[in-house]
Amino acid sequence: MKITCILGSPVRQGNTDTMVRALLDGVKKERAGTVDWFVLNDLVFRGCQACDGCKETPTSPCVEADDMLAVHGSLRTADLLVVASPLYMDGVTAPVKGFMDRLNAFFGADWTPRLPGLRTVLLYSQGMDDEHAYDDVFGLMERVYGKFGLQVVRRVVLADASGHDVAGQSAELSAQLDTLGRELARES
Ligand SMILES: Cc1cc2nc3c(=O)[nH]c(=O)nc-3n(C[C@H](O)[C@H](O)[C@H](O)COP(=O)(O)O)c2cc1C
């Protein structure tokens, strides 16, 4: 099983980082595999330049030669995509938005999705205590991911997490994510 993980927080071992690791622990209990782990904050990449190079033929890749190309390569062979983001200013973090814009390379000129059926899990952490406070944001993200063919199979939201160690201190969340990881491994 090949998993592409996108970490959208600048904080290592913070909530979203911890959530991804708990999920991967569950996966590993069921299936062997490889994980491509991308900390967006450590990558150097530009936003989409709207050059339409990726639309020239049905398989044209993104022509922007930066660190995002490794992410694109990983996505092409992935069985599962995990995207984890804290909520920043009522949305995903800027690097995650940048990653999403660069996914422009994953639909063609005729809108044909180039990652059809890639199972995707979205993990969020937020300071707000109401776990439904950002349902509209999450819905919008899922609409965007759908343009590329991504099939969002699960969404997990950690609410009331103003400190960065909230996920690490929640045995309940870790168990939930471990179970989720096992389920995802069995389903693939
Ligand atoms: C710049 C910034 C903006 C934030 N904006 C929001 C927000 O709009 N809503 C919210 O609920 N939490 C907000 N937060 C809190 C984070 O989402 C929260 O602390 C999250 O758990 C951090 O996850 P991490 O430990 O993975 O970085 C913000 C934090 C920062 C630093």
Token pair of 60 as six digits: 């044209």
Which one of 87, 97, 136, 137 would you pick to mutate in the ligand 1 pocket, going by the greatest count of ligand atoms within 8 A of its CB? 87
Domain locations along the chain: 2-187
| Distance (Å) from CA 170 to ligand 1 centroid | 18
What is the pTM assigned to this prediction? 0.98
- CA dist list (Å): 99 to 19, 60, 104, 107, 176: 20, 18, 9, 14, 27
Q: How far is the CA of 90 from the centre of ligand 1 (A)?
A: 9
Distance 56 CA to ligand 1 centre (A): 39
- DSSP string of 90-107, one letter each residue: TB--HHHHHHHHHGGGGB
| Residue 122: per-residue pLDDT | 98
- Alpha-carbon separation of residue 8 from 32, 99, 116, 118, 129 (angstroms): 25, 9, 23, 19, 20
- The per-residue pLDDT for 188 is 82
CATH topology of domain 2-187: Rossmann fold (3.40.50)
State the pLDDT at residue 47. Answer: 97
In the chain (188 residues long), the average pLDDT of successive 10-residue segments reads: 98 98 98 96 98 96 97 98 98 98 96 97 98 98 98 98 97 98 94
Nearest atom (ligand 1) to Cα of 87: 17
CA atoms within 13 A on the CB side of 154: 19
